[in-house]
A and B are shown apart, each in its own frame.
Chain A
Amino acid sequence: MEHIPLNFPFLAAALLVAISFYIIIFKKNLIKLIMGIAMLASGVNLFLVSLGYRAGGTAPIYTDVPEGPMVLAVPQALTLTSIVINVAVLALMLTMVIQIHRHTGSLDSEESRKMKG
């Protein structure tokens, strides 16, 4: 593990966030838009977990833990809450896309747009 630079998880999180912004802004398929939001959530969750890392730390559980420092536990609690919220949001978005498809028959965000102006 020593030859991976310490800010590699942050680079990965930033890459995920950047790609997901590109998807949300430029892609026209509604399912791809939902996938972009799921990727944005994954990027932010990865960022939250990786900012709690302390060098040489173990998991923050007291049951039969080896000696040494522990990583921070609070960002893991924040990440868990964020994952639960995103499950609900993704379920809601999928339901709305199913209804849009039922009414208009297409998943293209240009064609399913009824409101203009």
Chain B
Amino acid sequence: MLSKIVRTVANQLTLFIVVFGLYVIAHGHITPGGGFQGGAVIVSGVILLLVAFGSQELKKSLPERVLSIVESSGAVLFAILAFAGIGTAFFYNFLVGTPIFGGVPEPGPGAGDIWTGGVIPLMNFAVGLKVIAGLSAVVLAIALFSSGEEVEE
């Protein structure tokens, strides 16, 4: 655990990092970004908290049970979205034309509209959930392990 100044600043900065990460995840279909990239940004915020507070403190806020459940539900959501269009084909973009993210943008350059893309922004959210939970679990496990504690199997 580092000094009080570092801990206070880390607490304040984490909000901005999480918001920026969510922005990158949400706008993945019109600007550079997407599920993995935004998830990695948020995990860098988690690493900031890990360095400032120490792994024992962070283990109380992010128990292994919560991370495992969030990770699996993100993956299951992705698989369900992929299966949902199976009437036509696997991974078929069944939301094009419907009110949920269903706009069809005109081809060529122009301002990007967030309510386009069909099933892709929802898949971005699912992948983002999985990446946040998964990479946080990896980073936390390595930090706990190097501080000498025996991780349960």
B is bound to A = yes
- A→B interface (CB under 8 Å): 59, 61-65, 67, 80, 84, 87, 91, 94-95, 98
Min distance, Cβ B78 to any Cβ of chain A, angstroms: 14
Q: Name A98's contact: one of B31, B105, B135, B142 (CB within 8 Å).
A: B142
Contacts of B122 in A (CB 8 A): none
Q: Size of chain B's interface in residues, with CB distance under 8 A?
A: 16
B138 within 8 A of A: yes
The answer to whether residues A95 and B142 also contact, given A62-B108, A62-B112 and a CB cut-off of 8 A, is yes
Are B142 and A94 in contact (CB-based, < 8 A)? yes
- B→A interface (CB under 8 Å): 30-32, 36, 105, 108-112, 135, 138, 141-142, 145-146
Contacts of A61 in B (CB 8 A): 30-32
A-B residue pairs, 10 tightest by C-beta: A63-B112, A65-B109, A91-B138, A63-B30, A84-B36, A62-B109, A63-B31, A98-B145, A64-B111, A63-B111
Min distance, Cβ A98 to any Cβ of chain B, angstroms: 6
